Structure 1
């Protein structure tokens, strides 16, 4: 069965965007982090994206070059949206969702299909919905060496505690650290 891997950049204090949605606090990846990103793509064949993040990504990625960009551009991108419309980025397709029950059904179906893992890039609302609905199988949080004090939290709308088990940490020369968690098994 395929898994959903949530990959997000976070501040040390758990924010994925600043107070005005700003992302200028994220540091550029060093060579080691770039190599780790390519290695992670080996196990992934589909990107899951919210409509807002799609709009941000489509401004950059289709014209970006390099091995990472080539792989992102080639893989299927499923854009979860309440609106149905044509998308301009190659291999991007709308997955219509009308609410949480529909989202859970669509993701459960995708997990049962053959293929490699799927990476959830976000945005915030989509990631929060996946977390709240227990659809995330692994969390890969790239913690940036900055505390924002306020902004958009990754775990902002949880209705109950979500226990996680740390499975790996990988510090980078830039000061960022990749922390990997899996949902904790109930006792």
Structure 2
């Protein structure tokens, strides 16, 4: 069995929020119009599968063509073509599904916390937007300490910076 890499790829405000209090990510729209894709297309082509929480999935229900998509949901839902709904822990998920290659942990914060608690996130690609939201949903809410991360790359896109870390 090939070791799967779980990679968090996400945008956050400078003060660490991924969404407003009501869960909206509309504040990111203005950054999608400035001519950069922040490496998204290259990253997306590199992953084999996508993991997403149900709340985030409901916000972004688009298909991930050519990728296996897994939606963590406590509510039983019928699988769709290319989309598998899963009710369980991140650890039981990784034990059940033999994923190869790279898996994108799309979010949200609660699912990320679960994967961090089970020590299942291998890389972090975090795009920091030059904006202070002041309140909302934090990227990192509950998690155990990770003692050492190695900076792979810090890439500027105008006033936006993307940090890529790997777990040691």
Query: Which TM-score bucket, shorter chain as reference?
Result: 0.7 to 0.9
- Aligned to 2:32, the other structure's residue is in SS state coil
Counterpart CA distance in 1 for 2:84 and 2:75 is: 12
TM-score (norm 2): 0.86
Q: Tell me, in whole angstroms, the C-alpha distance in 2 between the residues paired with 1:142 and 1:41.
A: 15
Could you say what secondary structure the match of 2:65 adopts? Answer: helix
Residue of structure 2 aligned with 1:177, choices 144, 161, 165:
161
**What runs of 5+ residues in structure 1 fail to find an aligned partner?**
63-71
2:37 matches 1:33: yes
Answer yes or no: is 1:94 the counterpart of 2:88. Answer: no
Question: What is the 5 A alignment of 1:1-187?
Answer: 1-26=3-28, 27-28=31-32, 30-33=34-37, 36-58=39-61, 61-62=62-63, 72-88=64-80, 90-97=81-88, 102-110=89-97, 113=98, 115-158=100-143, 160-163=144-147, 164-173=149-158, 175-183=159-167, 185=168
Cα deviation for residue 105 of structure 1 reads 2.5
4+ residue runs of structure 1 moved beyond 3 angstroms?
29-32
Structure 2 residue matching 1:28: 3-state secondary structure: helix
Q: What value does the CA root-mean-square deviation take over the aligned residues?
A: 2.0
Q: Note the C-alpha offset of 1:37.
A: 1.3
SS at match of 2:48: strand
Instruction: Report if the CA contact (8 A) 1:25-1:146 is conserved.
Output: no
The structure in which a higher percent of residues are helix is: 1
- Pairwise CA distance, 1:138: 0.3
